[in-house]
Amino acid sequence: MSTSSTAAAKQPVYFIPHGAGPCFFMDWNPLDTWDDMAAFLKAIESELSERPKAILLVSAHWLAPEFSVTSGQAPELIHDYYGFPEHTYELKYPAPGHPELAKQVIALLENEGLAAREEKERGFDHGMFIPLKLMFPEADIPVVQLSLGMDLDPKVHLAAGKALASLRDQGVLIVGSGMSFHNMRGYGDNRYTAPSEAFDRWLTDTVEAGGEERTRRLVNWMDAPHALDCHPPGHEEHLIPLMVAAGAAGDDTGQRVYTQQVMKTQLSGFRFG
């Protein structure tokens, strides 16, 4: 990836919650349901030591047989949510793509024995454009989106993150976009409050543990308290972007930088570095 002659600041890595569909851009009941999460996302840019030269975003809403990467110059938006107000299907986020970065991502993955391919026609899904509209509303930073692997294997996704870690030194912000709790039956049900809190405590302890301990625990995340209540088997795609983020973090310290009870479930966001 080409950069200016000025050395880029090493970027941190984030795992962010992206909310429910276009929740930040519509009325909700109660009206302030997503306000704190929106404030967290809006504050991220001001917490960076330098604006990213590009963003690599891993969305829970793109699964592929092998790691796939958007490589178009100007990917269109995929409004992949259903049953929301009509105006939410007109949301825009005209961020440019970055074909050169896409090729570098593929090369880095392949160098570690991970199959990867480019997708020139694939657009940006709402796991990308909904949070980035809050984080970087000018839509002037090039973005490349990386899929998850359909196997949702935590070990493989940790390895993918590790393979991509060097991009941070080039000024690339790596973002995992998902949800720390994602059981559609659990939202709004107070029977899931205590289980979500227990899993969130485990997840926070794990992220903040660092090193081999963090990796070991994430590989075996299903052994965590109430893990399968929070992420039902076969539907853990909203947690797996955290694995890529943690892999890209390397030995950097992780910390919980956002937490809130939303719709009777505990949700959190994490930063590494």
In 3D, which of 42, 102, 44 has the Cα closest to residue 72? 102
What amino acid occupies position 76?
A: E
Q: What pLDDT, in 10s, does the model give residues 46-100?
A: 999 999 999 999 999 999 999 999 999 999 999 999 999 999 999 999 999 999 9
Question: Beta strands 265-272 and 13-17: pairing type?
Answer: antiparallel
* Res 7: pLDDT: 81
Q: What pLDDT, in 10s, does the model give residues 168-223?
A: 999 999 999 999 999 999 999 999 999 999 999 999 999 999 899 999 999 999 99
Rounded-to-10 torsion of CA 218, 174, 39, 60: -60
In 3D, which of 156, 157, 198, 206 has the Cα closest to residue 178? 157
Q: In the numeric block, which tokens belong to residue 37?
A: 């999460």
Least confident of 4-13, 144-153, 208-217, 241-250: 4-13
Using DSSP, state whether 163 is helix, strand or coil. helix
* Res 210: pLDDT: 82
* Res 98: pLDDT: 98
Full set of structural domains in the chain with CATH: 13-272 (3.40.830.10)
Residue 3, pLDDT above cutoff 70: no
CA distance 161 to 249: 8
